[in-house]
Amino acid sequence: MHHVVFEGAAVLDANRLRVLVEIAHAGSIAAAAQRLSFTPPALSQQLTKLERETGCTLVERGRTGATLTDAGRLLLEHGERVLGELRDAEAAMRAHAGRPPERLSLGSFASAAKTLLPGVLAAFGDEHPQVRLSLSDVEPPGGHGLVASGELDLLVTHRYPGVPLPRAAGLHRERVLVDPLVVVAPAGHPVVGRGPTLADLAHEEWICGPPGIHDRTTLDAAAEKAGVRLDVTYETHDYEVALALIGAGRGVALVPLSVLGTACRGGWVAGALRGADLAREVYAVHRRRPSEPVRSVVALLRRAAARALAPYSGGLPGGTGALQR
């Protein structure tokens, strides 16, 4: 059984640390118990023992789930790193015994999973047929703790302007793509092809995520800086929905340039936004001692990111003429 030294003579049980980590990741004691093949009462007993060992209440139990206290969040950060180190040790021993990695787990936000990862995963599968891949939907800012604990080997995440990056203690985070945000409007729009400012588009019906969603934070901050008020008429966090609405003649939106390369054709025009240098940054996150398969996926991801913007290497749409679809 793994143990971790805690304040001199006291010892924390790593298996109980895992209980806390699973509760945090799953969102409830019942869901964590199912993932660990425990009964909920048995898992609660392990949590109670961990709270007794630390002398702190770690989890607030409620009808709708489990919420970590400040002490619980502090211990979670350490617990994730402890579990990650244990998994690294197990991987190192497998490698020493001549057994290469057999699995690689990835997490990604939706638009990267559509635009960047299909080619990456296909190429990786050809190069490493012995490695079994898995892919999970992980929307930012989530996922860093899953990498820290070793539950994910690699996370593909993003940061929009005005949105801070989560802490990445013990992790390596590499920016692989700077993805310009461009204005998309119905085909034939009178100003998008000329590189409009936000003031030029202040009268438009806007399409964007609801308050608190990353792209909305960016749009609201840009509008405030430009001294204009924008009317977000249609709220969606799905760029395919936004493009479908625009194709039907409804609204305008800021869309990452890479998304347009795989978008359905028809009914829209895209152009650069003048007076606001806005871009979504895409990152690859993994542990500091990645396995060879992880390094291989990251290398493939860098190349895929470069290809995603290659069609626009001569300039952004709207700079030398708008992109029509």
Q: What's the pLDDT tens digit per position in 258-296?
A: 998 887 777 899 989 998 889 999 999 999 989 999 999
- What is the pLDDT averaged over residues 182-189? 92
Write out pLDDT tens, residues 112-168. Answer: 999 999 999 999 999 999 999 999 999 999 999 999 999 999 999 999 999 999 988
Contacts of 184 by beta carbon, 8 Å cutoff, 6+ apart = 192, 242, 243, 246, 252, 253, 254, 255, 260, 268, 269, 270
CATH 3.40.190.10 fits 178-278+315-324, yes or no: yes
Contact 17, 11 (CB under 8 A): no
Is 29 or 318 the better-scoring residue by pLDDT? 29
Q: Does position 318 have pLDDT exceeding 60, yes or no?
A: no
Enumerate the CATH 1.10.10.10 domain ranges in the chain, comma separated: 3-92
d(CA 75, CA 73): 5
pLDDT band at 311 (very low <50, low <70, confident <90, very high): confident
- The predicted pLDDT at position 150 comes to 92
% of the chain exceeding 70 in pLDDT: 92
Mean pLDDT for the chain? 89
- What is the pLDDT averaged over residues 92-121? 90
- The predicted pLDDT at position 10 comes to 58
Determine the topology of domain 101-177+280-312 in CATH.
D-Maltodextrin-Binding Protein; domain 2 (3.40.190)
pLDDT band at 322 (very low <50, low <70, confident <90, very high): very low
pLDDT band at 313 (very low <50, low <70, confident <90, very high): low
CATH 1.10.1740.10 fits 3-92, yes or no: no
- What is the pLDDT averaged over residues 242-247? 94
* Identity of the amino acid at 78: H
Is 239 or 322 the better-scoring residue by pLDDT? 239
d(CA 78, CA 10): 16
pLDDT band at 314 (very low <50, low <70, confident <90, very high): low
Enumerate the CATH 3.40.190.10 domain ranges in the chain, comma separated: 101-177+280-312, 178-278+315-324
d(CA 57, CA 47): 10
- Sequential DSSP letters for 96-135: HTT----EEEEEE-HHHHHHTHHHHHHHHHHH-TTSEEEE
- The predicted pLDDT at position 1 comes to 47
What is the value of pTM for the model shown? Answer: 0.84
**DSSP β-ladder status, 171-186 and 279-287:** antiparallel
- What is the pLDDT averaged over residues 5-20? 73
% of the chain exceeding 90 in pLDDT: 63
- What is the pLDDT averaged over residues 23-52? 90
d(CA 313, CA 140): 28
pLDDT band at 317 (very low <50, low <70, confident <90, very high): very low
